[in-house]
Amino acid sequence: MRILLVEDESAIADTVLYALRAEGFEAVHCLTGGEALREVARAPFDLAVLDIGLPDIGGFALCRELRRGRDLPVIFLTAQNAEADRILGLEIGADDYVTKPFSPRELATRVRVVLRRAGVGNGGAGVAAAADPEPGFAHDPEGKRIRYRGQALDLTRYEYGLLAALLQRPGAVLSRAQLMDRVWGDALDSGDRTVDTHIKTLRAKLREVDAEADPIRTHRGLGYSLDNG
């Protein structure tokens, strides 16, 4: 799997290159759009990661040029969430985007997901590993540890408590009050948004393991449940 990275900030590029290569991808870095166009003319790539703010040509225009006459999945690096509609919409039609600052590992996961979705190749260690993920959660109540798809989760005390409560009865809806009661007990410093805030950070940690999975379900006005599939 050959990945093209176009990013004019060397510090960002270095961490991204490191994460991609750690996943078994071959990654080529260009500092400018002009350099990128010369690279793709030389040899084909399976996916491109493009910074939007480049010195010589805008990332969107570069995307159009790179895709002229070829099928190339693209992930954008963007400074603002606000651009998401344009990036993923008809106008640009990118496959995904990440907002700076981002975790290089998360980006590498997105690359894997987009490649899999695009049906590119069967080789590459990263792609093969992702195509056959270990299912669901594994809970070790004595060690207070939870693994997700084979990976140990690094959870705070309350994130662990929430996930453990939901895992007790997969599929059952637990209200915010029930979760508050079980996880926070009689803690006085917790407010209305406490459960939602921790659900949010928990979801982010699960997405780091599998960008496509969203096993925690929100039931409007009722509470939350968990799919352990």
Buried-state track 124-153, b at ≥16 Cβ within 10 A, e below 16: bebbeebeeeeebbbbeeeeeebebbebeb
- State yes or no: residue 62 binds Ca ion (CB under 5 A): no
Single residue of 51, 95, 96, 159 touching Ca ion by CB under 5 A: 51
Stretch binding Ca ion (CB under 5 A), from 48-56, 91-99, 115-123, 157-165: 48-56
Number of neighbouring beta carbons within 10 Å of residue 88: 15
The burial of 179, by beta-carbon neighbours within 10 Å (0-12 exposed, 13-18 middle, 19 or more buried), is given as buried
CB of 75 to Ca ion, least distance (A): 15
CB of 85 to Ca ion, least distance (A): 21
CB of 19 to Ca ion, least distance (A): 18
| 190 contacts 162 by C-beta, under 8 angstroms | no
CB of 17 to Ca ion, least distance (A): 15
Q: Tell me how far apart the alpha carbons of residues 98 and 215 are, in angstroms, rounded to a whole number.
A: 21
CB of 83 to Ca ion, least distance (A): 14
- State yes or no: residue 83 binds Ca ion (CB under 5 A): no
Residue with smaller CB distance to Ca ion, 57 or 84: 57
Q: Write each residue from 153 to 192 as x if it is in contact with Ca ion (CB under 5 A), else as -, in one continuous string.
A: ----------------------------------------
| 215 contacts 229 by C-beta, under 8 angstroms | yes
Q: Write each residue from 6 to 35 as x if it is in contact with Ca ion (CB under 5 A), else as -, in one continuous string.
A: --x---------------------------
| 141 contacts 197 by C-beta, under 8 angstroms | no
CB of 78 to Ca ion, least distance (A): 10
- State yes or no: residue 53 binds Ca ion (CB under 5 A): yes
- State yes or no: residue 121 binds Ca ion (CB under 5 A): no
Residue with smaller CB distance to Ca ion, 13 or 183: 13
Q: Tell me how far apart the alpha carbons of residues 32 and 198 are, in angstroms, rounded to a whole number.
A: 40
| 156 contacts 194 by C-beta, under 8 angstroms | no
Q: What is the residue type of 74?
A: V
| Positions in the binding site for Ca ion (CB under 5 A) | 8, 51, 53
